[in-house]
């Protein structure tokens, strides 16, 4: 091992007491120090430092490493963190960066923590993750105990995928600067396959259910609740976006409403949306007791609508499986079944991904068949009555 003054001009080593290099370069105060380490006549380390203290520290560390290797001593690797250790740091990050962090809290507490929470990351196998996936799909554990949703039903493919995506995200978080995990994951080599969701059709209200909902709304005394549900059904706007609408955003003369739409990964965007007269009528007679069209307690921004929706749903005789979000699916489904093109529907529903809109294409077979039958009208040449030409000569 050796420490020398390094000449940046000619790349030559000089003694520690040298003031001038043989090439004539004067070192002055800004000297650079080069640490070179050889083992068995071969260079194993060569680095330049801006001061002598750092060079001496590097030399000491490298010397200790070489002595350890010569004695055959291997440093004990740091054990992988448990999933709960990763989760505790992840949730702090999620609360500040994810709008759906509360969904992660519920999913982790119900499905991942009981099964994997105490395990170290390198001890969770793909087989165990696939077992979770299978048990959620079948509705029972390997011991035969029921494993169902709050409603006593099988978990949907979408719910199962949420658990796998969250687990995968926790591994990626652990590979970051907080833990620097470099071990294996259950998702390596595609050992865990995500559930396929493309065949899932959006749930929407059938004709008799839709009529029952309208009947319940027309008889309901609470105007804000009625207006909230009608406006959601007639515009397809998400619940969270409805919470943010202010009276200043509503233009009754132009039939326009300005919406602040949140996207999970792309932040927010402001959209001016044309709405039908019936949607505006649902707002016209609402009391203006706040700057918000649908205010919460104390006139502030509303944050929840579960209670009012449960009461209306019960009065209308709708099954508990009908969610408020299914009003948005109803808006999109009826548009698709009445001939609205996917391109237009994408704009109406403010989908960022066209593949989301294509789910509604399965609901319009009549429109597709009608267009297929008219292909000949569009592409085949039109038949015309031929004229008889007399070619005989006089």
Spatial distance between the Cα atoms of 157 and 141, rounded to a whole number of angstroms: 17
Place of tokens 């796998």: 164
pLDDT at 44: 80
What whole-number distance in Å separates Cα of residue 298 and Cα of residue 291? 11
Q: What is the pLDDT of residue 166?
A: 96
Contact indicator for 118, 84 with CB cutoff of 8 Å: yes
The neighbour count for residue 65, using CB atoms within 10 Å, is 14
Dihedral of CA atoms 95, 97, 99, 100 in degrees, nearest 10, equals -60
pLDDT score, position 151: 77
Alpha helices (runs of H) in the chain, residue ranges in sequence order: 52-70, 83-97, 101-107, 113-116, 126-138, 157-174, 207-219, 223-235, 239-243, 277-284, 306-316, 326-337, 342-349, 354-357, 365-373, 375-379
Q: What is the pLDDT of residue 40?
A: 76
Would strands 42-49 and 250-251 be described as parallel, antiparallel, or unpaired?
unpaired
- Residues 202, 288 contacting (CB under 8 angstroms): no
Q: How far apart are CA 132 and CA 141, in angstroms?
A: 8
Pairwise CA distance, residues 193 & 242, whole Å? 36
Alpha-carbon span 156 to 128, nearest angstrom: 19
Cβ distance 35 to 62 under 8 Å? yes
pLDDT at 28: 84
pLDDT at 392: 59
Residue 173's nearest CA partner among 126, 77, 104, 267 is 104
- Residue 218 tokens read as 């027309």
Neighbour count for residue 90 (Cβ, 10 Å)? 23
Task: Report the alpha-carbon distance of residue 347 to residue 52 in Å, rounded.
Answer: 65
Element housing 155 (H / E): none
Taking the model in full, what pTM does it have? 0.56
| Count of Cβ atoms closer than 10 Å to residue 333 Cβ | 24
CA 369 from centroid of its chain's CA atoms: 35
DSSP class of 205: -
Distance between terminal CA atoms of the chain?
A: 120
Asked if 293 and 250 touch (Cβ cutoff 8 Å), the reply is yes
For residue 207, how many other CB atoms are within 10 A of its CB?
Answer: 8
Q: Token pair of 393, please?
A: 């000569």
Report, as ranges of residue numbers, the positions in the chain whose pLDDT lies below 50. Answer: none
pLDDT at 163: 96
| Beta bridge pairs of residue 2 | 36
Q: What's the Rg (C-alpha) of the chain?
A: 34
- Exposure letters 227-257 (e unless 16+ CB within 10 A, then b): bbbbbbbbbbbbbebbbbbeeebbeeeeeeb
Closest CA to 311 of 185, 221, 204: 221
Residue 156 DSSP one-character state: P
Question: In the prediction, which pLDDT does 45 show?
Answer: 83
């Amino acid at each position: 091992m050796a420490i020398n003054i390094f000449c940046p001009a000619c790349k030559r080593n000089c003694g520690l007491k040298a003031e001038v290099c043989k090439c004539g370069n004067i070192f002055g105060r800004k000297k650079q120090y080069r640490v070179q380490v050889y083992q068995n006549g071969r260079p194993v380390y060569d680095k330049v430092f801006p001061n002598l203290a750092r060079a001496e520290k590097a030399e000491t560390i490298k010397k200790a490493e070489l002595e350890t290797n010569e004695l055959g001593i291997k440093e004990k690797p740091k054990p992988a963190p448990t999933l709960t250790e990763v989760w505790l740091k992840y949730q702090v990050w999620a609360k500040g960066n994810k709008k759906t962090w509360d969904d992660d809290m519920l999913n982790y507490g119900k499905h991942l923590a009981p099964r994997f929470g105490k395990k170290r990351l390198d001890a969770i196998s793909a087989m165990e993750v696939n077992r979770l996936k299978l048990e959620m799909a079948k509705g029972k554990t390997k011991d035969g105990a029921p494993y169902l949703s709050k409603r006593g039903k099988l978990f949907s493919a979408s719910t199962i995928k949420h658990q796998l995506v969250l687990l995968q995200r926790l591994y990626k978080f652990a590979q970051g600067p907080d833990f620097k995990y470099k071990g294996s994951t259950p998702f390596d080599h595609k050992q865990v396959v995500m559930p396929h969701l493309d065949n899932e059709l959006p749930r929407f209200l059938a004709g008799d259910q839709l009529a029952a909902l309208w009947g319940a709304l027309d008889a309901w005394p609470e105007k804000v609740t009625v207006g909230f549900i009608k406006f959601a059904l007639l515009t397809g706007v998400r619940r969270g976006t409805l919470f943010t609408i202010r009276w200043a955003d509503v233009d009754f003369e132009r039939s326009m409403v300005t919406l602040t739409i949140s996207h999970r990964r792309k932040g927010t965007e402001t959209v001016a949306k044309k709405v039908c007269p019936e949607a505006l009528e649902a707002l016209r007679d609402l009391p203006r007791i706040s700057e918000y069209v649908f205010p919460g307690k104390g006139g502030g921004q509303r944050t929840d609508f579960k209670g009012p929706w449960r009461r209306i749903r019960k009065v209308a005789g709708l099954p508990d499986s009908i969610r408020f979000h299914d009003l948005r699916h109803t808006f999109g489904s009826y548009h698709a079944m009445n001939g609205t093109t996917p391109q237009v529907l994408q704009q109406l529903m403010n989908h960022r991904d066209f593949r989301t809109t294509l789910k509604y294409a399965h609901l319009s077979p009549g429109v597709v068949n009608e267009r297929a039958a008219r292909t000949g009208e569009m592409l085949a040449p039109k038949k015309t009555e031929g004229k008889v030409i007399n070619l005989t000569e006089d």
